[in-house]
Structure 1
Amino acid sequence: MIKGLYEAHLPVSNLKQSIEYYKGLGLEFSHSHEDKLAFFWIEKDKSWLGLWETDKVEIEYHPSIRHIAFQVTLEGLKNSVTWLHEKGYEPREAFGFKPIEPFVMAHSGMAHAKIHFNDPDGNSLEFICKLPNPKNITKRMYLSEWEELHKATKIF
């Protein structure tokens, strides 16, 4: 029945400022409604992000709300900290990892590499990609450590 995510929404305090911010991330602007709602394509004609201008941005952040994770390639993720800095955006600490490089959260049979940052309203944004985990590692580490552990397997 479910085939993917069609849309997700975030609250913003200043729609015009947020439109420029998300354009800066490389998302394609689709359309807006009544100067209170704007949509950006995540994948053209497949999924999009809606930004709603509202006072609800005052709701305290929790991982279950006000969070979007954008899927990226491994190569894109490796360059993400530099790319974010070049755009004037700051990666942030997450799960105890300093924002110096992407980090890996591994679970039995799967792993994801990621980096976190915030939009101007404190909405949590994330770049993430799935990683092979043939050794079934279950600990958290920086991506460079992960790659070093897997050099012999020629995954990277």
Structure 2
Amino acid sequence: MIKGLYEAHLPVSNLKRSIAFYEDLGLEFSHSHGDQLAFFWVEKGKSWLGLWETENVKLAYHPSIRHIAFQVTLEDLKKSIAWLEKRGYHPREAFGFEPIEPFVMAHHDMAHAKIHFNDPDGNSLEFICKMENPKKITKRMYLSEWEKWDKNI
């Protein structure tokens, strides 16, 4: 029945500022409805992100709301901190990992490397890539440690 994620939505306090931010991340603007709603393609013709201008942006953060993870390649993830900082954005601490490099969360058959950052309204964003985990590593670690661990086990 379900084939994938079609859309996700985030609240923003200033739609024009948020449009510029998400365009700077490389998302393609699709369309808007008036001056309070804009859509961006995450994967053109397949999935998009809706941004809603509202005064109710100050909702308390919880990962179940106000969070979007964007899939990237491992090579792009390795460059993501410099890429973000070049644009004036800063990665943040997540799951106890300081934003000095991407980190890996492994789960038996798979693993995900990731880095977290926020948009101008504090919405949680993430660059993430799925990785194979044939050695069934279950430890969380920085990506550089993972690459050493994965080669040595």
Give TM-score, length-normalised by structure 2.
0.98
Structure 1 runs (4+) deviating above 6 angstroms are none
Percent identity reads 78
1:18-63 per-residue CA deviation (whole Å, 9 max, x = no partner) reads 0000000000001111100000000011100000001221110001
**2 CA distance for matches of 1:109 and 1:45?**
31
Residue 15 of structure 1 is matched in structure 2 by 15
1:75-122 per-residue CA deviation (whole Å, 9 max, x = no partner) reads 010110110011111000000000010000011111100000000000
Residue 54 of structure 2 is matched in structure 1 by 54
5+ long unaligned stretches in structure 1: none
**2 CA distance for matches of 1:151 and 1:135?**
10
Shift of 1:151: 2.4
**1 CA distance for matches of 2:31 and 2:107?**
39
Matched positions, count: 153
**2 CA distance for matches of 1:83 and 1:34?**
32
5+ long unaligned stretches in structure 2: none
1:137 aligns with 2:137: yes
SS of match in other structure, 2:56 = helix
1:75 aligns with 2:79: no
Residue 33 of structure 2 is matched in structure 1 by 33
Superposed CA RMSD in Å reads 0.9
Shift of 1:3: 0.5
Matches for 1:67-106 after TM superposition, within 5 Å:
67-106=67-106
Give TM-score, length-normalised by structure 1.
0.96
